[in-house]
Amino acid sequence: MTAALRGSTMTFIHQARSLDRSGRIGVVIVGCGYWGRNYARVLDELPQSYVAAVCDESLERLGAIATAFPTVPVTNDLDQALALPGVQAAVIATPPSAHLDVATRCLSQGVHVLVEKPMTTNSADAESLTQLADECGLTLMVGHTFVYNAGVRKLKEYVDNGAIGRLYYLYARRTNLGPIRTDVNAVWDLAPHDISIFEYLLGSAPEWVSAIGASLLCEGNADVGFVSLMYPNGIAAHMHLSWADPNKTREVVAVGSEKRILFNDLDPLERVRVFEKGVSRVAEEPSTFGEFTFLQRDGDILSPMVEASEPLKNECEHFVECVRTGQRPLTDGRAGQRVIEVIEAIDESVRANGVPKGVPGTKGVPGAFAAPTQEVVDASPAIAAH
């Protein structure tokens, strides 16, 4: 970050005309790249909020914002933006390496925070931010946008109401040919989406993970990953993440004893498809050892109605409501911290060539998968003399 964004004295590059903002929550957008521009658009359209200012270190990007949003002031001085009358909240859409510094400054000045994923670049910093927000009595929310996707919520309905039967496993594919990033690897960029979806569906973090990755395009920066996760109650999950796949996919599949449900974010017409197919073991005593009876069902393929809504708008509405009422966000700081703890365990497993690694705060890796401990030889004088 430049000195300007770090707080040197600057004047507004573009000062917008005065508008009546009574009763609405003023939000500062910090970072006006792709996501920052979208946050600015959505928050300025909501009846409960308005964009008080946009802050970025790039004069070129600020100029583009001033053209697109002529009523919004822009500046490269964060402290100046946060000091504006009516500012109650900030959205942080900077590179992840700047999240800790910018979020800490916002919270320390009494401003509620919505920070893009990943929340920070390590779990210790995520815990620090969460504690600070709690101490200040402020909202800290993480932008896990897929949790606010109507298709994912429809999938959760089938899981929660038992229609899927016993949930066997989940898997996700999130691939594309780029965009290649240098600030984080593919796991840190893509995995937060599916880890947050899995936790939303299951209500818990995984107990352990096993992962392998490869650096195909950028030396030392993994651009493909294959990750297995084990959740409580024996529910398995898998993620395929890649920047090097020519086929773009955004899919999550839940397989249960009664149904298989596909969420495909790239299919606007049939975002959710329900396959009325499944297999389960009949609850009968086997007549001989090893003999079991299985019941297979083959039925229709359904496309349930999914509410037409923009996930980012749903997310922003939830954030504004939390700021107004003080309720805890669905994707709060603790949720963001858990996602990072899972990614750190994935990193450890990749470095260990796939060895399972436990996730903090859970039961961890079962004994059968734990790494063998080295036998300690007692070389005390008494034993040696014997």
- 26-72 pLDDT, tens digit per residue, is 999 999 999 999 999 999 999 999 999 999 999 999 999 999 999 99
**Mean pLDDT confidence for 147-175:** 96
78 and 168 belong to one structural domain: no
Q: Give CA–CA dist 43/258, Å, rounded.
A: 41
265 and 151 belong to one structural domain: yes
User: Does 379 map to a domain?
Assistant: no
Q: Give CA–CA dist 262/276, Å, rounded.
A: 11
197 and 237 belong to one structural domain: yes
- Residues 244-299: tens digit of each pLDDT: 999 999 999 999 999 999 999 999 999 999 998 766 666 555 555 555 566 676 77
Give the CA distances from residue 277 to residues 251, 252, 257, 300, in Å, rounded to whole numbers and listed in that order: 19, 17, 8, 8
User: Does 48 map to a domain?
Assistant: yes
Looking up residue 65, the CATH number of its domain turns out to be 3.40.50.720
Say how many domains are in the chain. 2
350 and 205 belong to one structural domain: yes
**Mean pLDDT confidence for 174-187:** 86
Domain hosting residue 284, numbered range: 147-308+340-358
| Two tokens, residue 226 | 């294959």
Amino acid in the structure at residue 199: E
198 and 344 belong to one structural domain: yes
Looking up residue 266, the CATH number of its domain turns out to be 3.30.360.10
**Greater model confidence, 194 or 378:** 194
Predicted pLDDT of residue 118: 95
Q: How many CB atoms lie within 10 A of CB 249?
A: 15
The answer to whether 176 and 241 have CB atoms below 8 angstroms apart is no
User: Does 363 map to a domain?
Assistant: no
- Residues 94-139: tens digit of each pLDDT: 999 999 999 999 999 999 999 999 999 999 999 999 999 999 999 9
Q: Give CA–CA dist 366/169, Å, rounded.
A: 18
**Positive or negative: CA dihedral 276, 281, 284, 287:** positive
Q: How many CB atoms lie within 10 A of CB 310?
A: 15
Predicted pLDDT of residue 4: 41
41 and 127 belong to one structural domain: yes
157 and 278 belong to one structural domain: yes
- Residues 190-205: tens digit of each pLDDT: 999 999 999 999 999 9
At 218, is the pLDDT very low, low, confident or very high (cuts 50, 70, 90)?
confident
User: Does 181 map to a domain?
Assistant: yes
180 and 137 belong to one structural domain: no
109 and 227 belong to one structural domain: no
Q: Which residue is listed with tokens 């270190």?
A: 57
**3-state secondary structure (DSSP) of residue 335:** helix
Residues 6+ apart with CB under 8 A from 334: 130
User: Does 367 map to a domain?
Assistant: no
Predicted pLDDT of residue 346: 97
**Greater model confidence, 17 or 301:** 301
Residues 6+ apart with CB under 8 A from 54: 28, 29, 32, 36, 40, 62, 65, 69, 72, 73, 74, 75, 81
Largest CA distance in the chain: 92
Predicted pLDDT of residue 289: 52
275 and 236 belong to one structural domain: yes
User: Does 53 map to a domain?
Assistant: yes
**Mean pLDDT confidence for 328-342:** 98
User: Does 59 map to a domain?
Assistant: yes
81 and 114 belong to one structural domain: yes
354 and 326 belong to one structural domain: no
User: Does 323 map to a domain?
Assistant: yes
Check pLDDT > 70 for residue 217. Answer: yes
- CB neighbour class for 33 (10 Å; exposed up to 12, middle 13-18, buried from 19): middle
The answer to whether 342 and 209 have CB atoms below 8 angstroms apart is yes
